[in-house]
Structure 1
Amino acid sequence: MGRWEPGADSRLREAAIELFLERGFEQTMVADIAERAGVTARTFFRHFADKREVIFQGAADLEEWSLAALEKAPATASALETVEVALDATARLLGGDHGFARKRQAIIESSAELRERELIKLNSLSARLEEALRRRGFGDLDASLAAATGIAVYRVAFERWAGAAEDGDLREVIRDTMIHLRALTAAE
């Protein structure tokens, strides 16, 4: 296929995911991905900065989506309730493709480099949520704790959801995880 044909980005993503699952992330080269997708390596780099971006493309958009939702939270919401609004929006955006999430999570878990990148992504989101909470008038401690707690809940919930055998609602898993956290802290 020529590089001008439509759908190269989705073919590249599909080829990369297949190869990462078959061979492993570290053993898969950009040339392998491009060949399987029927394009050149140069075309790959028009769509992705590197092979990690196949997994993490859209992280900046996800942050912006989450922050926009946080800004729409009721003014009377606590810091943690405000973060829950952002998490719910994130789940609406990510929760639609359980099959892809399972594959993506398996690839991330198989690579120390990708696990590190995932933690960096989550840390960045936490910092942005914290900053947004401060702008809404929450104090430093409340903003820090709420953002960090929200990211911890999200991470645990996402791993539970992605690891589940059957499709489920990511939003429900996040809500259930938050309820469990509240019960756990109330028992302390």
Structure 2
Amino acid sequence: MTDAPRPTRGRPRLGSASLLEEAAFELFLENGFAGTTVEQISTRAGVSRNTFFNYFTAKSDVFWVGLDASIDRVEAALEAPPEGSPTIDTLHDALLGAASLLGPSDVPWALTHFELIGSTHEVMASVIGRATRLSHLIERAASASAEPALARSLSFACVGAVVAAMMSWAEAGPERGLLAPHLERALSPLLAGFADV
């Protein structure tokens, strides 16, 4: 006869990014961003402080798990473009491909709860770092067929379209749908202007 499994209490002891995210957002609602520490997030998630830093380099990184994964997808698509595909088509497909995987529940928490966060330098720096990474990826892809200044201009314009689309998506409320249509509206006219790249 085997022993019955022993019941456990509290949260499961999983050191996943999503568990830490959930714990962080609960605490941000209770204490605000500035009033919440990494120690509190780790304790709420039932993991060690070191485990937190296995997943994140800073407290503000919990806001951007989905965005980071999307930028990784864009990077993979830009590193292996279809043979003979024009740069503009490759950029369009890479950005829209990543956006098509983000549904209504994937909006970054920071965009829908910004009033609870406040304008902290740490949060702003964390999002600027991600925008810079995306810009560099786009610029590198565009530089294969465009002069440096034009490639850089295109990269900044695309990042601006992504930011505008994400804000529109967040502001659309519960019926927002996928990010992709919001990005298509912001991105397509811009890319048409760079059609010769």
Q: TM-score, normalised by structure 1?
A: 0.77
SS in 2 for 1:138: coil
Give the equivalent residue in structure 2 for 1:123.
132
Question: Could you tell me whether the CA contact under 8 Å between 2:13 and 2:47 is conserved in 1?
Answer: no
* Residue in structure 2 matching 1:142, options 143, 150, 169: 150
Measure how far apart 1:84 and its partner are: 1.7
Measure how far apart 1:180 and its partner are: 5.4
User: What residue identity is the alignment partner of 1:28?
Assistant: T
Residues 23 and 62 (structure 1), Cα distance of their counterparts in 2 relative to 1, 3 Å cut: same
Structure 1, residues 110-142: CA drift from partner, whole Å, max 9, x if none? Answer: 3332123212210221012101221x3322233
Structure 1, residues 148-169: CA drift from partner, whole Å, max 9, x if none? Answer: 1111111100111022112312
Stretches of structure 2 that go unaligned for 5 or more consecutive residues are 1-8
4+ runs deviating over 6 angstroms: 1-4
Measure how far apart 1:66 and its partner are: 0.6
Matched, 1:106 2:115: no
Give the equivalent residue in structure 2 for 1:173.
182
Question: Could you tell me whether the CA contact under 8 Å between 1:17 and 1:104 is conserved in 2?
Answer: no
Give the equivalent residue in structure 1 for 2:49.
41
User: Superposition RMSD on alpha carbons, in Å?
Assistant: 3.2
The structure where helix makes up a greater share of residues is 1
Question: Could you tell me whether the CA contact under 8 Å between 1:66 and 1:90 is conserved in 2?
Answer: yes
Structure 1, residues 5-62: CA drift from partner, whole Å, max 9, x if none? Answer: 3355432210101222332211111122122223333433343333122223466654
Matched, 1:151 2:144: no
Question: How far, CA to CA, are the matches of 2:125 and 2:138 in structure 1?
Answer: 20
SS in 1 for 2:100: helix
> Larger C-alpha radius of gyration, 1 or 2?
2
SS in 2 for 1:13: helix
Question: How far, CA to CA, are the matches of 1:132 and 1:179 in structure 2?
Answer: 18
Alignment of 1:4-153 (within 5 A): 5-6=13-14, 8-57=16-65, 61-70=69-78, 71-73=80-82, 75-77=84-86, 79-93=87-101, 95-96=102-103, 98-107=104-113, 110-113=118-121, 114-134=123-143, 136-153=144-161
Residues 36 and 76 (structure 1), Cα distance of their counterparts in 2 relative to 1, 3 Å cut: closer
Stretches of structure 1 that go unaligned for 5 or more consecutive residues are none
Question: Could you tell me whether the CA contact under 8 Å between 1:2 and 1:39 is conserved in 2?
Answer: no
SS in 2 for 1:39: coil
Q: Which stretch has the larger CA shift, 7-16 or 108-117?
A: 108-117
Q: TM-score, normalised by structure 2?
A: 0.74
Question: Could you tell me whether the CA contact under 8 Å between 1:8 and 1:39 is conserved in 2?
Answer: no
Question: How far, CA to CA, are the matches of 1:102 and 1:55 in structure 2?
Answer: 6
